[in-house]
Structure 1
Amino acid sequence: MTTPSRPLLTDRPDLSVYWDNHLRDAFEEAAANIYPPMVEASLAHVWMLDDEGILPRERSARLEKGLLELWERITDGRQEYAFDGSVEDPYYFMEQQLAAACGISTSELDVQLARSRNDLDAGAFRMVLRRQILDQADLVLQAAADAAELARRHSDALIIGFTHRRPAQPTTIGHVMGGLAEALLSQGRELLDIYAEMNVSPLGSAAFTGSDVPINPQTVADLLGFDSTFTSSYEAVAGAEHFMRLAAAQARICATGARFSRVLLEWMTFGWVATPDAYTQGSSIMPQKKNPVVLEHMVSMAGAAAADMSATYANINSGWYEDSNNATTDVQKHLWRASDRVIRFVRMLDGLLGEFTVLRLPDKAEIVRSGATTTSVAEALAVAGVPWRGAHDVVGRLFKSADPTAWSREQVTEALAAGNISADLADLVLAAGTDPGRILDRPQAGSPGIKAVTATADLATETARALAVRAAELRAGIDAARAALLERAQALAAAA
């Protein structure tokens, strides 16, 4: 009998089992994300050390010159992130790269004076995530504005509204789109609110207790475009509230879009709206099929976003309230992955809104046959003085016998009499039961009435515009801070 060979524990013989199976993978997943903000944060840190007179000018200028060289490699695309086993993570990789750029050994570096990997990681994570938040907010708010425009455009487009997947009441495409716009605006507001919590600098908290070196964390925060600096150095590195809020928001965005995707899929199946070719795949066997599989994929993407949220919470749940990989480093990949997914998801959602085309809507008779107008009949009787439950019961018995298109005056009169209701209301019953368009004149705010839907759309458009302006201002703020930092860094480097 041949003895089976032992499976290999490493793919790279030059690496230990731990380094090959975790550190290498973690490095390759994280380096491209966090190395750039680490370099940017280091430019600010060194400038602050010089400004406070903590570092001799010669040493701070040399470091700043080296960091600017690293920054140039990042911005022009020359920086590579190869894990060669000489360092364990992006933190030491940056030190290795900086020492080489400065022409000194790593033992001669001052870049980590009064700073820990803990606060540097925490700062870099926030710097990555704040830009991702703005990227997501831009798209969500654009989709909200586009949904509002569709609401305005289709405020009179009557359809059958469903509850529990059964025909319920008449509504309009505009009414549904106005609701979608409102949901998206809620998510846009949430993202910008999370940004405010995210854009607090932890830099200067060091390992978690600060430093005896007389540094100025506020200077670093200002140079990096943070709105403020930490109030508790412990929470600065141990905290995970901002991570949990973002994970939940990302899952929420996709969940709302997935629910709408299922409705849109049915509208396409009913033939109410067009199925855009760009979002379909053909059948491998049925030549007539045009499958809008993008909508199915979006539902699956929402499930993946929920899974990343669950993984984020599970990791944080398992960590102590202190600096720990579970609650900080290990959740980053889920947040980055979810951010990328949200961006792709909302792009597809907004693309579908952009190609939204109404085809053949249900005619009035079809809406009436579905039973969608029966609530209006009961309400008309109630307004005429009939107790609500009695009106509800009478209309329910009528619909069991036939849909309103088939009601005769005799049937209606008989049903009213059985409910001790005046036969004089027969014309009211017949009119209300056969006119789904009555809802277009409904004056109630937030209703499917044309004026109400238009008001909803106008408010959503205005709100989306205001929030988009706010997001642009936030992005301009961190961009301006970066430009000012680079200018100061260059001036300091010139002294080298």
Structure 2
Amino acid sequence: MSRWHAVYRRWVLARHYRFAREHLIPYFFDALTAYSLGLAAIGVPRAAEAAKALAELRKHPLPSFNGLVEDVFFAIDQQITEHWGLEVAGTLRRGLSRNDLDLTVFRAFARDRALLVLGDLLALRRRMLLLADEHRETLMVAYTHHRPAQPTTLGHYLAGLENLLSRDTRRLWAAIVSTNASPLGASSLAGSPYRVDRAMLARLLGFTQAVENTYDAVAAGDWAIELAQALAALGASLSRMARDLLFWAEREAFVVGERVAQGSSIMPQKQNPVIFEHVRALVAELIGGPQILLALNHNTAYGDLNDHSTGVLEPLERLCHVAQGALELSRVALEESRFVPERLAEGLADKSVLASELVDVLVAEGYLPLGEAYARVKRMLTSLAGEGRTLDQLSEADLAAHLGFSDPDLLAALEPRRFVERRRVQGGAAFEAQINHLRQARGRLTQDRRAYNTLRLHIRQARRWLGEPEGLLASSRESR
């Protein structure tokens, strides 16, 4: 019969056990196996048997929560005790605390979930670069302050967005690196009394390093905050992209594919781009995510954090799940939909967005100083608007009357492609500059994917070794 109150069982123990049984059991076996191998490496008796017992036990399902034991660790401990005896079970627990064990499990789980997000982010960036290359010469109007500003190309815009997402990648990777440090061997906080090699334990678990201070190993909660903040920043980036695509969809410059759009229940003519409305809802969760983790750490004593348990992991798991959804929906929407170049270029027809180019040519060709050129062009625009005309209707007579010069070369400044081709600086809108930038962006993406694949491979190899510890035990005996 359980010794715990029914309310405590329901809201604390059962909830924690359920989450651990659904998500964390492999991580507990990995951490316990690594620790038993660490003990075996320094000659602790029966530690090798404990490693073999874990390898056998992990093949069988653990029982559901029954109230007799409080968590998954004690469920594993109970099973080892029943089938391999108290001495083997006790050996495994030498110098081991649930403080360092739980935090090791939490970090490994969070790292792996964040890596899934990172994989989807890399896939979205790849899709954006493909589209940027395809639309290098697709002219469009760029907006600033919600008003038409200057010509550019869709490729230039998409490459810029990918540039933003590359920094989201960098932030998420940095958070993963912070998370990917092993607390194992820290024991309660002062360190294990057995001189296990903590660096070796970290390598066995796919971590890149051990948390250097054993007190910090069980006290730190900032790694979870970093993950949440990186995901929130990513959410803000995806929200900005969704907003722009919905803006273009409203003007039929971006047509969302039928397989990711929904019709109206009452208006048969409508095809609604709701996929981005769903993206917007998902990223709202991401943006609010850090508050939960900050609140958990706020006013928490600098001691062990393992009792936060599902309070940390449930929101992190949810945030990673939501981030994957937002990324996958965004990528699929781009794959299934199409841009309409004619609609994107509609704002170029009256040539109003080329007024700045006319000012620049007047200055660059030595006609007028900048201040005077700006003032004269602005007065001319006001006069044309009063007559119901726009820059596309400008004549040489208008140039002479308003600017004081009737050179026909000034009219050539009002050609969108000429405007774009003059922007040849690094990262500019000129077609050649775009080609160079895309080459650089593809190289950056390749490097990011290589680092991602290397870490994933390292983790998979570690997990494979821990699932079959006999080889590691043999290596340990040979080294001694």
* Residue 44 in structure 1 maps to residue 25 in structure 2: no
Distance in 1 between the 2:344 and 2:192 partners? 74
* Residues 332-371 of structure 1 deviation map (CA, whole Å, 9 limit, x = unaligned): 2221111111122211122123234232424867414272
Alignment CA distance shift 1:488-1:363 (3 Å): closer
Distance in 1 between the 2:325 and 2:436 partners? 30
1:89 aligned to which of 68, 71, 83: 71
Stretch deviating more after TM superposition (106-115 or 296-305):
106-115
Distance in 1 between the 2:351 and 2:87 partners? 76
Match of 1:268, as an amino acid?
A
Alignment CA distance shift 1:377-1:97 (3 Å): farther
Match of 2:71, as an amino acid?
D
Match of 2:32, as an amino acid?
S
Task: Measure how far apart 1:158 and its partner are.
Answer: 0.5
Alignment CA distance shift 1:286-1:148 (3 Å): same
Give yes or no for contact 1:282–1:291 (8 Å, CA) kept in 2. Answer: yes
Give yes or no for contact 1:201–1:230 (8 Å, CA) kept in 2. Answer: yes
Secondary structure in 1 matching 2:352: coil
Distance in 1 between the 2:347 and 2:177 partners? 50
Match of 2:213, as an amino acid?
S
Distance in 1 between the 2:346 and 2:105 partners? 61
Secondary structure in 1 matching 2:303: coil
RMSD of equivalent CA atoms: 2.6
Secondary structure in 2 matching 1:109: helix
Alignment CA distance shift 1:106-1:309 (3 Å): farther
Written as runs of structure 1 = structure 2, the 5 A alignment for 1:132-171 is 132-171=113-152
Number of aligned residue pairs: 467
1:371 aligned to which of 340, 352, 366: 352
Give yes or no for contact 2:186–2:214 (8 Å, CA) kept in 1. Answer: yes
Instruction: Give the aligned partner of residue 478 of structure 2.
Output: none
Distance in 2 between the 1:282 and 1:455 partners? 41
* Residues 113-136 of structure 1 deviation map (CA, whole Å, 9 limit, x = unaligned): 101111111111121122223222
Alignment CA distance shift 1:327-1:166 (3 Å): farther
Distance in 2 between the 1:141 and 1:162 partners? 27
Unaligned runs of 5+ in 1: 1-11, 74-78, 417-421
Distance in 2 between the 1:88 and 1:327 partners? 15
Distance in 2 between the 1:390 and 1:326 partners? 69
2:440 aligned to which of 441, 445, 459: 459
Instruction: Give the aligned partner of residue 391 of structure 2.
Output: 404
Instruction: Give the aligned partner of residue 81 of structure 2.
Output: 99
2:361 aligned to which of 380, 388, 410: 380
Written as runs of structure 1 = structure 2, the 5 A alignment for 1:67-466 is 67-73=54-60, 79=61, 82-100=64-82, 102-104=83-85, 109-324=90-305, 330-362=311-343, 366-369=347-350, 371-385=352-366, 386-400=368-382, 401-402=384-385, 403-416=390-403, 422-425=404-407, 427-435=408-416, 437-466=418-447
Distance in 2 between the 1:196 and 1:106 partners? 37
Distance in 1 between the 2:111 and 2:346 partners? 52
Give yes or no for contact 1:191–1:249 (8 Å, CA) kept in 2. Answer: yes
Task: Measure how far apart 1:33 and its partner are.
Answer: 2.2
Alignment CA distance shift 1:358-1:94 (3 Å): same
Instruction: Give the aligned partner of residue 15 of structure 2.
Output: 25
Distance in 2 between the 1:318 and 1:361 partners? 57
Alignment CA distance shift 1:158-1:50 (3 Å): same
* Residues 367-394 of structure 1 deviation map (CA, whole Å, 9 limit, x = unaligned): 1427211111121122123222222222
Stretch deviating more after TM superposition (472-481 or 187-196):
187-196
Give yes or no for contact 1:205–1:211 (8 Å, CA) kept in 2. Answer: yes
Alignment CA distance shift 1:87-1:371 (3 Å): farther
* Residues 62-100 of structure 1 deviation map (CA, whole Å, 9 limit, x = unaligned): 422331133223xxxxx3663222222333233234434
Give yes or no for contact 1:319–1:326 (8 Å, CA) kept in 2. Answer: no
Alignment CA distance shift 1:47-1:389 (3 Å): same
Match of 2:420, as an amino acid?
I
Report the identity percentage: 28
Give yes or no for contact 1:151–1:174 (8 Å, CA) kept in 2. Answer: yes
Distance in 2 between the 1:164 and 1:310 partners? 30
Unaligned runs of 5+ in 2: 475-480
Distance in 1 between the 2:239 and 2:473 partners? 51
Match of 2:184, as an amino acid?
L
